[in-house]
Structure 1
Amino acid sequence: MRHLKNPLLSVSIGIIFLFTLLVFFATESSYETIETASVWVRNYFGFFYLYLGLGCVLFLLAIAFSPFGKIKLGKKNSKPEHSLWAWTAMLYSAGMGSGILLRAVQEPVFMQQHPPYPSGLQPEILALEFTFYQWGFTAWAFYGLFAMVVGYALYVKKKKVRVSSTIEDTISNPLAKNGIDIMTIITTVFGLIAAIGLGTTQINGGLNHFFTTDFGVTTTLLLAVLISGFAFYSAWQGVNKGIKIISKVNILITTLLLLFIFLMSDIFGILIAFATATFNYLIDFVPMSLAYGNYDPGITFLTDWTFYYWAFWLAWAPFTGIFIARISKGRTLRQLLLGVLIIPSLGTFFWFSVFGTSAFELIESWGSYNNEFGNVFSSIFVFFENYPMATLLNFTTIFLLISFLVTSVDSAVFVLSMFTDHGKKNPSKKHRLIWAVFILMATMSLLLLGNAKPDIDVLTAVQKLLIVTSLPFALFMVYMAGAFVWEVGFKNKKPN
């Protein structure tokens, strides 16, 4: 009964439970409603997502290099709570993880075969550049904005771990603050279940490819149960005993996998492609972010790719940003922002350079391409068939998919528990159990939604759902950034 007196918990759970019931019992009509809403959002707010992404990157760079970058999250003489290695491992595992395995081969090859716009660059370099664009600074800027604002509220202003704490000096109405926190929770849950839905479907695709059979949606649902169970155990153990250890293991194994493919491929060619694509990405970043002139890939391409990615990163921004803030005590805003923007972006660029360039070389050696890497859920497993120890590589990838999803879910469970347990830094384990259960239920409903029609899949359902659910949060982020500037720049007159 105690939880019923907690409106933030009860209302959020109620909304998620209602959504789950609707999808379970009216799957096809739910999909059609989401589809209609997503078209409306795309038509009226699609380009707003692009402008918001560019604005976030420029805003964070301005803060990092301004005098406010010296503000420390904690006491002036305090040292970072976690080492750079542990900090990077945790933020990367929470922020992307399984996504780079999902798209490692399929996305660069798609961009090579279907260039987003005419360019004087080689198709392979353009493909990598556009892939970098969709996985680079903008994604981490969405995360970094939340990490900065929440970290400042948490460690400088000594406020509770809630998004409403970041704007309570400008909005004091309790109903409005609870509404903001509920919106944050709902956005977080939808972004998370989207990732679990995609990740479990890829694991299922890998098993189907490896055993040449069709396990179907039942196996995917069982995988969701398995991942949620492991994630709950990790979140139950806490940041230091569970999340940090699994994150370090993830990054270590992923690095070994990356190095194996790198050393078994054209090393010089990969390095050249990495350097060239990164240089062009930096040069073209602003016009690409605005889809300006010759850099406009068209509304259909933007809807299928960039709008969807920006909606995905926005949906993940609350819990990832808050989690990054939670593990960033002792760092300055400059260290936090530049670390979040640069370190994981460069790591991701190198990852896609290795897998993308290697895939391009395979296609060239085949003499023709018959869409071997076209299936997003099985492309990386097809890719590994062309390397020694393919069986080991495939099972390692399946292990990483499960492990990365666990670290994403356990981070989210921990953050959601902090939210609903009165903003505590170490929330009640009962809250962690509640959120693990309801995230699992919502994930299962999404997987059913992805099988509502024979011509759709989980990826299609996720694209449409996220474009709708992330819109309110995209609008709120503008206000939140403005409130932060007022807090540190005008209200306090000078940085602490």
Structure 2
Amino acid sequence: MSDTSGPGIPAPEGPSNRIDTGYEVGQDNISMSVGPFGLDIHNPVFAISGLTIIAFVFVTLAFQESTGAAFGDLRDWLTGTFDWFFLTAANIFVLLCLFLIISPYGRVRIGGREATPDYSYTGWFAMLFAAGMGIGLMFYGVSEPISHFSSSVAENAGTAESWAPLGGAAGDAAEARDLGMAATIFHWGLHPWAIYAVVALALALFSYNKGLPLTMRSVFYPIFGERVWGWTGHVIDILAVFATLFGLATSLGFGAEQANAGLNHIFGIPVSDVSKVVLIVAITGVALMSVVAGLDAGVKRLSEINMVLAALLLAFVLVVGPTMAIFTGFFHNLYEYARYLPELSNPFGRTDDNFRHGWTAFYWAWWISWSPFVGMFIARVSRGRTVREFLTCVLIIPSLVSVFWMTVFGGTAIDQLVNDGYQVVADAPLELKLFAMLEALPLQQITSFIAIVLVIVFFVTSSDSGSLVIDTITAGGKVDAPVPQRVFWASFEGLVAIALLLGGGLGALQAMAVSTGFPFTIVLLLACFAILKGLHSEPR
């Protein structure tokens, strides 16, 4: 297939052109209004979301000290109290996706039986990876494997650092490595991609097959009927906006922390709140230009640039690092992941409390808060795929790539620590571990600079993709809303990230991702039922 030559992504087929499955949407179901600045908004979703975000930024910046403490308490309470809920929900999402892949529902084609893909596999994968997990893979690619390994080795038994993922210290370095890599892959494998896949499939199915607007409320038509066009639907879309915005702000905060640390490492630029704010403002400005350019001219090109740079950095570390150990480690890590998966995913198992609360529950809430953004973005570029093809590509293939990425970067760092005694990589702060690992390899100045560029471009693609998605939700599912609306949301993504960084740092960012991810988990569980009901009405 070749990439589409037209601007943007085609809108969902109207009711008159789709297969008759009993879902009807009229022009009056969603109230649109054109404002004095040419804004085409969906009232009251745009008004409530926009005013609430403006008020949040103002209060957080005005009362930084008190809000910082409140954010920390909120995160600890949510992850400590509802860890079982997040883990159970994520397991349900994985099981649903696997069932749909092997079931007759897998033959259903998104967009109808005659639909053809709008994008080639290359363009599709590039946008999926850049928008999906780019900043997270850069931030945690080294830091998470080395952290789990260091906390699991026998020398740490009985110390404050002895929070092994499964409780207690491992017997030796090899066992600690296996457990550390399995725990890392657990957080970046099937579960997060299943969360994204559920949202993406739901949006694509009800938009392209049922003729409903491309917005979260449409997914719940089988459950709530016409009420989705009233306040029931308004609440769902507003929750989606908040979840997306704060999930993005968390990722942008991580990106700013790592970019600042890398610039300090290479050029001596001071690590400070001022530097981080300047970075966020500058990168948000680049994102604004990309947003104005549109999906094909902006997001798609930046995504492809990112994919090339990421592949080059990955290939470099693979070649100059412990190459044979990486290749053998990839398959070994997959085996260890499968072996430890039942224990790691058990909501009531023997995993360490700190690991379950501080890592797993936070991760699942973070992925869930990202899911409206990534899910809608994937849905917009996935028309023409069958459900089986869609889920296999979105669930299995990205998980394997994530495993390989973690094996290359995390495996290299662990090898440096165990075989070379390179303690620097273990002692460095989370945001510096990637640069500490690269420092022990040749051409570290060049590779570190490429890593910073990757973080920044991932930052840009996340920001502009996210603003396109939020704009679609607040415009009632329209994919061609006026540019000023995209500019508004892209600007406030940056402002929210700045407010949270100044009002509590990474802890505040994580707290808001968890707090918006919690209610949205309930929304996604209902979406699972809606997907099954919607697929059942499709011709196979």
TM-score grouping bracket, smaller chain normalisation: over 0.9
1:426: which partner in 2?
480
2:526: which partner in 1?
479
State the one-letter code of the partner of 1:335: E
Q: Using the alignment, how far apart are the partners of 2:489 and 2:422 within structure 1? A: 48
Matches within 5 A, 1:225-244: 225-244=281-300
Give the secondary structure class of the aligned counterpart of 1:290.
Answer: coil
Q: Using the alignment, how far apart are the partners of 2:242 and 2:424 within structure 1? A: 41
Q: 1:138 aligns with which of 166, 172, 191?
A: 191
Aligned-residue offset at 1:371? 6.0
1:66: which partner in 2?
103
Q: Using the alignment, how far apart are the partners of 1:345 and 1:213 within structure 2? A: 35
Percent of paired sites with the same residue? 31
1:414: which partner in 2?
468
Q: Using the alignment, how far apart are the partners of 1:361 and 1:284 within structure 2? A: 21
1:153: which partner in 2?
206
2:86: which partner in 1?
49
1:163: which partner in 2?
216
Per-residue deviation, residues 82-123 of structure 1 (Å, max 9, x unmatched): 111111110111010011111121111111111222567621
CA contact (8 A) 2:205 2:534 kept: no
What residue ranges of structure 2 are gaps of 5+ in the alignment?
A: 1-34, 153-164
User: Higher mean Cα deviation, 229-238 or 102-111?
Assistant: 229-238
Aligned-residue offset at 1:361? 1.9
1:394: which partner in 2?
448
Aligned-residue offset at 1:31? 2.2
Aligned-residue offset at 1:245? 1.1
Aligned-residue offset at 1:282? 2.2
Q: 1:443 aligns with which of 494, 497, 500?
A: 497
Q: 1:270 aligns with which of 317, 322, 326?
A: 326
Per-residue deviation, residues 422-462 of structure 1 (Å, max 9, x unmatched): 31122221211111122122121012113xxxxxxx33222
Q: Using the alignment, how far apart are the partners of 1:372 and 1:123 within structure 2? A: 14
Considering only aligned residues, what root-mean-square deviation do their CA atoms show, in Å?
1.8
Give the secondary structure class of the aligned counterpart of 1:305.
Answer: helix
Q: Using the alignment, how far apart are the partners of 2:140 and 2:249 within structure 1? A: 18
C-alpha change, 1:70 and 1:373, in structure 2 (3 Å) is: farther
Q: Using the alignment, how far apart are the partners of 2:434 and 2:73 within structure 1? A: 33
Q: 1:89 aligns with which of 109, 126, 142?
A: 126
Per-residue deviation, residues 124-164 of structure 1 (Å, max 9, x unmatched): 12211111001111111110000000000111011111100
Normalising by structure 1, we get a TM-score of: 0.94
Aligned-residue offset at 1:213? 4.9
1:191 aligns with 2:247: yes
C-alpha change, 1:495 and 1:28, in structure 2 (3 Å) is: farther
Q: Using the alignment, how far apart are the partners of 1:20 and 1:160 within structure 2? A: 30
Aligned-residue offset at 1:374? 3.4
Aligned-residue offset at 1:243? 1.0
CA contact (8 A) 1:417 1:428 kept: no
Per-residue deviation, residues 312-364 of structure 1 (Å, max 9, x unmatched): 10110111001000000111111111111111111111111111221122113
State the one-letter code of the partner of 2:500: L
CA contact (8 A) 1:34 1:468 kept: no
1:125: which partner in 2?
178
State the one-letter code of the partner of 2:310: T
User: Higher mean Cα deviation, 258-267 or 419-428?
Assistant: 419-428
Q: Using the alignment, how far apart are the partners of 1:158 and 1:446 within structure 2? A: 38
1:305 aligns with 2:352: no
Q: Using the alignment, how far apart are the partners of 2:336 and 2:466 within structure 1? A: 35
1:247 aligns with 2:313: no
1:454: which partner in 2?
none
CA contact (8 A) 1:206 1:381 kept: yes
Q: How many residues align?
A: 484
1:465: which partner in 2?
512
CA contact (8 A) 2:417 2:425 kept: no
CA contact (8 A) 2:497 2:509 kept: no
Aligned-residue offset at 1:300? 1.9
CA contact (8 A) 1:110 1:374 kept: no
State the one-letter code of the partner of 1:160: P
User: Higher mean Cα deviation, 73-82 or 306-315?
Assistant: 73-82
What residue ranges of structure 1 are gaps of 5+ in the alignment?
A: 451-457
C-alpha change, 1:423 and 1:346, in structure 2 (3 Å) is: same
Per-residue deviation, residues 269-294 of structure 1 (Å, max 9, x unmatched): 1111111111121233233211554x
